[in-house]
Amino acid sequence: MTDAFFQPVSGFDLPRFAGVPTFMRLPHVDPQHGRIEDVDVGLVGIPWDGGTTNRPGARHGPRQLRDLSTMIRACHPVTRIDPFSMVNCADLGDVGPNPVSLEDTFNRVVGFYENLCARGITPLSLGGDHFLSYPVLKGLIGQTGPVGMVHFDAHTDLMDCYFGDFKLTHGTPFRRAIEGGLLDPKRVVQIGIRGTAYDFEDIEWGEAQGVRIIRIEELMDRGVADVMAEARQIVGDGETYVSFDVDFIDPAFAPGTGTPEIGGPDTLTAQRCVRLLDGVKIIGADVVEVSPPVDPSGATAWVGISIAFEILCVMAGSVQRRKAS
């Protein structure tokens, strides 16, 4: 039975430009709230961009994503899924970062997600730069062994070092996660890779570990349905993380990001990709690299939160199946 407390505020009851913004107009339930134990899916902001190597600003992403998310209505127009009637969703607030310390922020994120994991809450995280996927994964599964991943991005984020031997940036999170035993590389698929390169070491390293890297040309040539069928086969029935960098989408549609690359898919193609994750056992997901200072109009944030809703719809089915088993 639907719990009224966890229902988003309807635009029929309060205009969408009014009220205090939360993710998708959901109740704000912080870790000390009396209903925290009833949360199934927690939407979490991580306002941090200290791993950015090009255009900064993603630290402002969660705030603008909350604002634009007031446009989200409860029901999916194609699948007719209402995720808020399937599972209890809430805005859990932000992980409080340390803007002058990457190491301290890393530990804060890990601790926050360890707490969510202990409570059985499945997180949908809104960044923030892509470095954050690494501590999120460490907090979620650091003690339980590797998971698979479906990763939508223009970049592999499998680089080793930047600026000499600095190993923690938004270009290195999944190399660190594979090295740390958080991801099973043979159950990792990366979709949409493109753009000029410093070299091909990241791709060669990833493929040597067993990562399946699908360039944008292959996605376009084969089509969404065929590629996503392969992605589902790669991750199989095991636990899987979903990571969506907004630069997966062409900058004509999502210009507000730190490292844009031309030649990407449009927004509908991105939506169709995410919808075909239905049936995957999702244990967490993120949408990252929305940088409001680069796109003050809010168009990129609207794209980002719309993709987050698509992920939430397939995640709700996964969580519901897990609760029923």
Q: Which domains does the chain have, with CATH numbers?
A: 24-324 (3.40.800.10)
How many Cα atoms occupy the beta-carbon half-sphere of 160 within 13 Å? 10
pTM of the model: 0.97
- C-alpha distances (whole Å) from 145 to each of 113, 136, 178, 180, 284 are 15, 14, 11, 10, 15
Can you tell me the distance from the alpha carbon of 152 to that of 145, in angstroms, rounded to the nearest whole number? Answer: 22
Task: Pull the structure tokens for residue 163.
Answer: 């600026």
> What are the pLDDT digits (tens) for 32-73?
999 999 999 999 999 999 888 888 999 999 999 999 999 999
Average pLDDT over residues 169-189: 95
Closest CA to 247 of 114, 142, 131, 152: 152
| Radius of gyration, alpha carbons of the chain | 18
Q: How many CB atoms lie within 10 A of CB 182?
A: 25
Please give the helix or strand (H or E) that residue 9 lies within, else none.
none
Residue that the structure tokens 């698979």 belong to: 148
Question: Is the per-residue pLDDT at 2 higher than 80?
Answer: no
Tokens of 290: 């929305």
Interatomic CA distance for residues 254 and 264, integer angstroms: 10
1 falls in which pLDDT band (50, 70, 90)?
A: low
Count of CB atoms situated within 10 Å of the CB of 102: 18
Residue 254, classed as helix, strand or coil, is coil
Helix (H) or strand (E) holding 150: strand 147-152
Helix (H, G, I), strand (E, B) or coil at 304: helix
Starting at the earlier edge strand, list the strands of the sheet with 147-152. 89-94, 41-46, 122-127, 281-288, 239-245, 147-152, 183-193, 212-215
Closest CA relative to residue 285, chosen from 72, 43, 66: 43
Q: Mean pLDDT over all residues of the chain?
A: 96
Q: Note the pLDDT of residue 266.
A: 98
More confident residue, 51 or 301: 301
CA 217, CA 232: separation in Å to the nearest integer? 19
Kindly report, residue by residue over 231-276, the tens digit of the pLDDT.
Answer: 999 999 999 999 999 999 999 999 999 999 999 999 999 999 999 9
Cα 77 vs. chain centroid, distance in angstroms? 21
Outline where 87-215 has alpha helix (H): 102-119, 133-141, 173-179, 201-209
Burial class from Cβ neighbours inside 10 Å (0-12, 13-18, 19+) for residue 207 reads middle
pLDDT band for position 142 (cuts 50, 70, 90): confident
Give bridge partners of residue 126 from the DSSP assignment. Answer: 45, 287
Tell whether the model's pLDDT for residue 161 goes beyond 90. Answer: no
Point out the least confidently predicted range of 49-63, 102-116, 297-311: 49-63
